[in-house]
Amino acid sequence: MKNVLFLLGFGCLFLFACDDATDESDVRTSKTKLQENPEDLIERMPGIYREYYPGKKQLKIAGPVDDEDKRHGAWESYYENGQMNSTTYFIHGIKEGHSIVYHPNGAIHYVGEYKNDQKIGLWKTYNEKGELISEDEF
C-alpha cells in the first residue's frame, strides 16, 4: 500500500513538473515570436540599400543600387560594434575597383583591386598590429 501511495505521489509530482516545463517552452516560443523578422532589418529606398543588425541600432551593410537593385558604387559593411568592416566598389553588381577590409580593432586587414569580379594587381595583407604579412600578385 505504501508503494502504491509513493508511486501515485511521484506520478503527480512528475505531471506537475512536466506541465511547468511546457509553460516555460511556451514562454520561449513567445519570446522567439517577438524577435525581428529579417525583412524588418532591411531598408530599401530608391537607389539605396541598408541592412541592420537585430535591434536596428547598428548598420550592418549599406550602399547604392542601380535600377535593377544590383550593387552600384561604394558598399560599406560594419561590425556589430559599429567599427568599419569593409569598403568595396561595384558596377552593376560586379566588384570593380578598390577594396579594403579591416580587422575588428580597426587596423587594415587587406587591400586590393577588382576588375570584372576578379582580383587584380597587388593585394596586401596585414596582421592586427598593422604589420604587412604578405603581398600577392593577381
Least confident of 10-14, 124-128, 131-135: 10-14
Amino acid at 39: E
CA distance linking residue 28 with residue 130, whole number of Å: 44
pLDDT for 57: 79
The answer to whether the Cα torsion of 103, 107, 109, 115 is positive or negative is positive
1 pLDDT tier (thresholds 50, 70, 90): very low
pLDDT tens by residue, 64-97: 999 999 999 999 999 999 999 999 999 999 999 9
132 pLDDT tier (thresholds 50, 70, 90): very high
pLDDT tens by residue, 37-46: 666 899 999 9
Q: For residue 83, which of 63, 55, 102 has the smallest C-alpha distance?
A: 102
pTM higher than 0.85, yes or no?
no
CA distance linking residue 111 with residue 123, whole number of Å: 6
55 pLDDT tier (thresholds 50, 70, 90): confident
pLDDT for 35: 52
Q: Is residue 116 within 8 Å of 96, Cβ to Cβ?
A: yes
Tell me the pLDDT of the chain averaged across its residues.
81
